[in-house]
Amino acid sequence: MSGKHQAPTATVKFPHRSRRGILLGLTAPQLIVASLTGLLPLASHHANATGTLQVLEAARRADGPHVIAASSSSVYGANPHLPKHEELVSAPMSPYAVTKLTTEAYLSAYHHSFDLPVLPFRFFNVYGPGQPADHAYAAVIPKWISAALAGQSVTIHGDGTQTRDFTYVGTVCHVLTDALLRRVVNPCPVNLAYGTRTSLLDLVQEIETATGLRVRREHVPGRIGDVPHSQADSARLRTLFPTVAPVALQEGVPAAVGWFRRRLTTSQL
């Protein structure tokens, strides 16, 4: 497939290649909307569910390296409880979310069946420098920063009161690095977010503050598969990673804006 129907791909990085090394699996399908389009539910399943199974089989045959994998807060889906703690009943609202739940189940099964050291993280809305805005399924923060700097309006699906628990990429990297170095093992999923709750309308204001620009809003109908509110219970994360201090949105958004401005300046040279 090609263009907007390009199949998602799975990426596995190998930070260490010793006999008892580490596998860090960060699959990269084109988010929830893509999984609802055309044949992409199958592609999403291949990248996440089948891809995870292949990684785990390779790990099992390689004397059991430490496997860390990225799941998603989308597994909570229609469950309205806030904040979202890991013991909540999952209620996926998209094929993508189902594949991430399958990823978690495979990790747990391989841990209990083959004593494989695993750690599944539920990523929430990760953002920060280096996150592109120039593809069909770009995340909201880079897409809106790019629009603001270009003098364009931002598109808000719904009334903008829906909330998200945004997590700065530097915080995510800090947690992942700590997990790698200390070989943290937990077969149950761990929320990788710190319990903040920001509406999309408030996010626009943060971008206005960071850019010093007035941002025009354009409201359109809500999207199928989007959950209205998302906020992590971070108790398990804080217990496992007590030394990690999260970067606040008021610091992270300006950092992302700075990256975009440097990119624009470089492209104009």
pTM of the model: 0.86
Where do runs of H (alpha helix) occur along the chain? 31-35, 40-45, 51-61, 95-114, 140-149, 169-182, 200-211, 235-240, 249-267
Exposure letters 29-41 (e unless 16+ CB within 10 A, then b): bbbbbbbbbeebb
pLDDT digits (tens, 9 = 90+) for 124-156: 999 999 998 987 667 999 999 999 999 999 999
The percent of residues in the chain predicted with pLDDT above 70, rounded, is 83
pLDDT confidence of residue 266: 79
Give the gyration radius of the chain's Cα atoms. Answer: 19
Q: What is the mean pLDDT of the chain?
A: 87
pLDDT digits (tens, 9 = 90+) for 59-107: 999 988 999 999 999 999 999 999 999 999 999 988 889 999 999 999 9
Instruction: Decide if pLDDT at 14 tops 60.
Output: no
Exposure letters 74-100 (e unless 16+ CB within 10 A, then b): bbbbeeeebbbebebebebbbbbbbbb
Q: Would you call 127 a catalytic residue per the annotation?
A: no
pLDDT confidence of residue 269: 57
Name the pLDDT band for 38 (thresholds 50, 70, 90).
Answer: very low
Name the pLDDT band for 223 (thresholds 50, 70, 90).
Answer: confident
pLDDT confidence of residue 94: 87
pLDDT digits (tens, 9 = 90+) for 111-128: 999 999 999 999 999 999
pLDDT confidence of residue 249: 98
Per annotation, catalytic residue among 96, 106, 127, 194: 96
Instruction: Decide if pLDDT at 34 tops 90.
Output: no
pLDDT confidence of residue 99: 94
